[in-house]
Structures are given as structure tokens and as C-alpha cells.
Amino acid sequence: MAGQHFPVTRLEGVSREQFMQHLYPQRKPLVLEGIDLGPCTSKWTVDYLSQVGGKKEVKIHVAAVAQMDFIKLYLLTSWSRGQLKRSIKNSLFQSHYHEQHIKDISSYGHQRALVERDEKYYLRSLGEDPRKDVADIRKQFPLLKEDIKFPEFFKEEQFFSSVFRISSPGLQLWTHYDVMDNLLIQVTGKKRVVLFSPRDAQYLYLKGTKSEVLNIDNPDLAKYPLFSKARRYECSLEAGDVLFIPALWFHNVISEEFGVGVNIFWKHLPSECYDKTDTYGNKDPTAASRAAQILDRALKTLAELPEEYRDFYARRMVLHIQDKAYSKNSE
């Protein structure tokens, strides 16, 4: 279990002005209650979504265990049982029809399991051509457009994407960060969300944008001893709740019930700071990517020195980065 625990602040009836002028600049997670989201919270039942989605083909992730691991991901757009049996991966990416997927994903016991009988399903909507188009529920699922109102807590030109998500009960998504601000709208069902501050990145055993620590409630501290130092912020979301997740805040999401949600991502930084080829919104800002490439080259240069010298100058580099780049502001 992580060390310090804090509840995420909950506020009801927050106006656009109050959020943008007073809450947004604090750069802290926040649960917003009583936001007008339209009729989606009562209308988006399993039967309704199955009917509206119809025969639209969607991509789903299939996990044989509750803790989905995208560090070791097996990507498929079609499947055969032979491939699945040979796979030692945790997650699969499948083509599926929306109507049947909704019915499968809402069930505790699946009649047509692809991997295991207790497998978990997860839908994350994509653009029509994921290589070029961002996800926008209003375009990929136009019949749902009139059912949901997006909170107007950012400028229209900052909008990046709106991602439609459906999760099996018990599914746990990996701890990761996003490079854009987002609102997680819990339309139906219940979720538990655990967040970690960007300042605690050194305790999360990162591999890219994701943490290697999958079981955050009962971590293997022999393998991940520093994880106990990470401060943990936690909240529960029910239908109608909206969670503001600032960019760079790590989050782990557990679906306590079958649930439908929508993430709205927008650009906190000027548009030119982001990778123009990024349709998922998960590539680091271009300046950060360039800095990482420069660091890699510096490390290769240091490797030319004997170990004693390499160690000494590497420590000096770390101290220099801390002095010049770390924020002096306390949380």
C-alpha cells in the first residue's frame, strides 16, 4: 500500500467562471458534482447503446485478468483461438460489433469468451482512421451526440478529443499520465480512481508513460520498494460525477460496476507545443521529446568514460538538472 492518502476534493455546482479563474490554475484533481450533462446519465442503458451502436465495428481490448497491462500488449484486429492460446500477453485488441460488445461487456459471466470465461472487455473509441483522426464521440457515434452536454470549462479552440469508454465490471486500467488536461465524465456505473502527483514520478517505476506497478492496492514492495513513498489521491465516481484530471497527473481507474464514460481532452499548452502527428493525445510535448533525445546522446557520451568517472559526472548532471529545471514551488 502507498504511504500518504488524500481524498480528492469534491465541489457541487461549480460555474465555468469559478472553475477557470479559481480552480483550474491550482492544477489539482477535482470531482465536480451537479454538472448539467444532458440526458445521457439516465438514457445510456445497455439496451439503448446496443440499439444505437447497431452493427458499427469497434475495436475492443480483451483481458484475461482484471488488471489490464498495456506494457505487454498484444495487438490484434482479428483473432483465432490458436493465436489466443499461444499468446502469453495480458491484453488483446479485437474487432467486434458494437451491439454484441455492449451485451458482452455488461455481463459478469460471458457466454462467448474469447480468452477466458472471466475475461474483461474495454472499449476506447478511436477516430475513423486512427493514424489521422482523433476520437470524437460526436463523429464516431453521431446518434449519441444530442444526449450529452460537454462541460464548457475550456475554450473551444483548445478542444482535442472526446473518447467514448465502456468497461466490464472489475476491470482495472494501468497507472499512466496524459499530456493534456481532461474531464472524465462518469455517465453510468461506478469507478474508483487513484491518482498520483507528477512530483512522485520517481516512485512509480515508469516505463514510458505507464507505471509497472499494476496492483496498486497490494503492491510487491520487495520488487517496487519506492512505491510506498508515492502520495495517493483517491475518489469514487458515480453517474453524473465529473473528474478533472490535470495533464501529467498519474491515474489508475477501477470499474466497480459495468460503466460508460466519456473523456474530454483539451490542450493546456499552446498548440505548437504538441506533436502534430499525435491522434491519441499521449505523445510528450515536442520540447520534452527533444530534451529526452539530447539526454540519450549525453548518456552515450558518458559511457565512453570509466565507471568511476561516469558515475561522478552523471551525478553532477542530475544535480544540474535539479537546480535548473525542478520547480521551486511546493505543492
Domain borders along the chain are 5-273, 286-325
Residue 127 confidence (pLDDT) above 90: no
User: Rounded distance, CA 307 to CA 303, Å?
Assistant: 8
- Say if residues 317 and 298 touch (Cβ distance below 8 Å): yes
- What is residue 98's predicted lDDT score, i.e. its pLDDT? 45
pLDDT digits (tens, 9 = 90+) for 181-235: 999 999 999 999 999 999 999 999 999 889 999 899 999 999 999 999 999 999 9
User: Rounded distance, CA 307 to CA 322, Å?
Assistant: 22
Q: 12 by DSSP, 3-state: which?
A: strand
Q: Which fold has domain 5-273?
A: Jelly Rolls (2.60.120)
Burial track 184-200 (b if 16+ CB lie within 10 A, e otherwise): bbbbbbbbebbbbbeeb
- What is residue 195's predicted lDDT score, i.e. its pLDDT? 98
- What is residue 60's predicted lDDT score, i.e. its pLDDT? 76
Whole-number average pLDDT of the chain: 85
Per-residue pLDDT, averaged over 246-267, amounts to 95
How far, in whole angstroms, is CA 266 from its chain's centroid?
Answer: 14
pLDDT digits (tens, 9 = 90+) for 165-185: 998 888 888 899 999 999 999
- What is residue 260's predicted lDDT score, i.e. its pLDDT? 94
Grid coordinates representing 161? 478529443
Per-residue pLDDT, averaged over 240-269, amounts to 96
pLDDT digits (tens, 9 = 90+) for 274-291: 999 999 988 999 999 999
Per-residue pLDDT, averaged over 84-91, amounts to 31
- What is residue 61's predicted lDDT score, i.e. its pLDDT? 76
Helices then strands, counting H and E runs in the chain, come out as 8, 16
pLDDT digits (tens, 9 = 90+) for 15-74: 999 999 999 999 999 999 999 999 999 999 988 888 886 666 777 777 777 777 654 443
